[in-house]
């Protein structure tokens, strides 16, 4: 009996390019998710200078020979991690020309015809998550997200599978490898500063996360096509990141929205910066002192948005995540039961609302 061949899931890019005036019902978010949901450009315009702004941290202070300047930089990062759980970092020392090349090769891949990109399609059903894909319904409501993406491991280099990387554009691999190496230096610096912010030795957090050998960096390039009804759709639904840190680079089109102070606030685009999220893993290790913030991605009618998210993750099963003993006291008892990273991912799989996340934590 012949095996039934299932058609590939449709790509959002193809849907968006078909000229439709209304989006299919599978992409329409329920009423409960439409608070401050709208065109990303309109939402960015609403956020004036008096509204809450994602903090900007200048990392150059941490390289100063002046101990007081270094301490001030650590304090600024600590405050942003505790209050927002997200910050723009500037003077991160990744060459801006390299960042421009990362943008170019990522856009170059998504500029290829869909049929060409399908050669790199992932296969979620078989567990092959690396490659080109679109969100398949795996939540309780069955809603789909207005994005396509490319996902693959970029560091440590010896653990990468280059057969799952795009071969087009030709310099994609070279550029991405170089970016991964440069970003890994920033990861160590950020973890060192965040360790010091908790009163710990500078290498403590990185060691707890697996160190240079086992801390993984997974890149997801998110491609958000133009959407005819951005007030009804989401590029990525509300979630917190399971990672330790997430680094975000964009093509300077707004869309990231953060749940801060009881309302949704859009993040402004800051030139020459990387945006960094504190993930669940650091919230657990810090016993809740650092915050993993709920966020989502808006879409818009006018411009394609592309973002490059790099998730810094501990090994899935060899490390037990729990609040660090140095941060647990009678006054501040442990807020999180021990779990492996794999167990944490499984626990969160269907947790999508503010209430669900509150109950998890």
Structure-derived torsion over alpha carbons of residues 76, 77, 80, 83, reported in degrees to the nearest 10: -90
Strands (E), 169-273: 216-224, 236-239, 245-250, 256-260, 263-266
* pLDDT for 142 beyond 90: no
Q: Could you tell me the pLDDT band of residue 138, with boundaries at 50, 70 and 90?
A: low
pLDDT score recorded for residue 140: 52
| Tokens 């942003």 found at | 80
* pLDDT for 272 beyond 80: yes
Q: What gap in Å lies between CA 206 and CA 187, rounded to an integer?
A: 9
| Tokens 């019902």 found at | 25
Q: What gap in Å lies between CA 218 and CA 155, rounded to an integer?
A: 7
91 in the Ramachandran plot: left (φ > 0), alpha (ψ -120 to 50) or beta? left
pLDDT score recorded for residue 321: 96
- Both tokens of 322, joined, read 């729990």
- Both tokens of 129, joined, read 């998550």
Three-state SS at 191: helix
Per domain, the residue ranges of the chain are 18-315
Q: Could you tell me the pLDDT band of residue 55, with boundaries at 50, 70 and 90?
A: very high
pLDDT score recorded for residue 101: 98
- Provide the annotated active-site residues: 220, 239, 241, 295
- Both tokens of 222, joined, read 């998110």
Query: pLDDT tens-digit profile of 291-348?
Result: 999 999 999 999 999 999 999 999 999 999 999 999 999 999 999 999 999 999 998 8
Query: pLDDT tens-digit profile of 167-176?
Result: 999 999 999 9
Helix (H) or strand (E) holding 196: helix 172-197
Q: Could you tell me the pLDDT band of residue 349, with boundaries at 50, 70 and 90?
A: low
| Tokens 């966020």 found at | 295
Q: Please check whether residue 160 is in contact with residue 153, taking contact to mean a CB–CB distance below 8 angstroms.
A: yes
For the chain, the average pLDDT equals: 92
**In the CATH hierarchy, which fold is given to the domain comprising 18-315?**
Jelly Rolls (2.60.120)
* pLDDT for 354 beyond 50: no
Three-state SS at 312: strand
Question: For 47-51, 54-58, 280-284, which range has the lowest pLDDT when averaged over its residues?
Answer: 47-51
Question: For 35-39, 241-245, 252-256, which range has the lowest pLDDT when averaged over its residues?
Answer: 35-39
Question: For 5-9, 134-138, 178-182, 187-191, which range has the lowest pLDDT when averaged over its residues?
Answer: 5-9
Give the end-to-end CA distance of the chain in Å, rounded to a whole number: 49
* pLDDT for 9 beyond 90: no
Q: Please check whether residue 154 is in contact with residue 160, taking contact to mean a CB–CB distance below 8 angstroms.
A: yes
- Both tokens of 125, joined, read 């059903």
* pLDDT for 1 beyond 60: no
Three-state SS at 273: coil
Position with higher pLDDT, 36 vs 121: 121
Q: What gap in Å lies between CA 360 and CA 58, rounded to an integer?
A: 33
pLDDT > 70 in the chain, percent: 91
Q: What gap in Å lies between CA 17 and CA 115, rounded to an integer?
A: 14
DSSP classification of residue 304: -
Q: What gap in Å lies between CA 157 and CA 217, rounded to an integer?
A: 10
pLDDT score recorded for residue 103: 98
* pLDDT for 48 beyond 70: no
Q: Of how many residues is the chain composed?
A: 361
pTM summary value: 0.93
Nearest residue to 93 via CA among 173, 172, 174, 189 = 189
| Tokens 């490659």 found at | 131
Query: pLDDT tens-digit profile of 191-240?
Result: 999 999 999 999 999 999 999 999 999 999 999 999 999 999 999 999 99
Q: Which residues of 72-90 are buried (b: 16+ CB within 10 A; e: fewer)?
A: ebbebbbebbbbbbbbbbe
Query: pLDDT tens-digit profile of 56-115?
Result: 999 999 999 999 999 999 999 999 999 999 999 999 999 999 999 999 999 999 999 999
DSSP classification of residue 243: S
Q: What gap in Å lies between CA 16 and CA 223, rounded to an integer?
A: 12
């Amino acid at each position: 009996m012949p095996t039934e061949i299932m058609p590939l899931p449709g790509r959002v890019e193809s849907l968006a390019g078909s000229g439709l005036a209304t989006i299919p019902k599978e992409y329409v978010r329920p009423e409960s998710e439409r608070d401050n949901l709208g065109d990303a450009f309109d939402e960015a315009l609403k956020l004036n200078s008096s509204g809450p702004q994602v903090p900007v941290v200048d990392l150059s202070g941490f390289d100063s020979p002046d101990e007081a300047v270094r301490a001030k930089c650590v304090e600024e990062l600590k405050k942003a991690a505790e209050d927002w759980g997200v910050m723009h970092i500037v003077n991160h020392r990744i060459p801006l020309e390299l960042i421009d090349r990362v943008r170019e090769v990522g856009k170059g891949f998504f500029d290829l015809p869909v049929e060409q990109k399908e050669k790199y399609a992932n296969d979620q059903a078989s567990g092959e998550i690396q490659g080109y894909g679109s969100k398949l319904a795996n939540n309780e409501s069955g809603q789909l997200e207005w994005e396509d993406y490319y996902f693959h491991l970029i560091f440590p280099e010896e653990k990468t599978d280059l057969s799952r990387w795009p071969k087009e554009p030709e310099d994609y691999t070279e550029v991405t490898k170089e970016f991964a190496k440069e970003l890994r230096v920033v990861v160590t610096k950020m973890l060192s500063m965040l360790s010091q912010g908790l009163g710990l030795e500078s290498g403590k957090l990185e060691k707890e996360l697996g160190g240079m050998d086992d801390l993984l960096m997974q890149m997801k390039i998110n491609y958000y096509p133009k959407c005819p009804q951005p007030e009804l759709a989401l590029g990525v639904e509300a979630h917190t990141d399971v990672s330790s840190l997430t680094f975000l680079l964009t093509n300077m089109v707004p869309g990231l929205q953060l749940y801060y102070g009881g309302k949704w606030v859009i993040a402004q685009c800051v030139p020459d910066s990387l945006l960094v999220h504190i993930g669940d893993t650091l919230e657990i290790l810090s016993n809740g002192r650092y915050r993993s913030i709920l966020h989502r991605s808006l879409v818009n009618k006018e411009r394609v948005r592309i973002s490059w998210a790099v998730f810094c993750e501990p090994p899935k099963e060899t490390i037990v995540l729990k609040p660090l003993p140095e941060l647990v006291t009678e006054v501040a008892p442990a807020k999180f039961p021990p779990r492996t990273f794999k167990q944490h991912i499984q626990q969160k799989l269907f947790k999508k609302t503010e209430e669900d996340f509150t109950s998890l934590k």
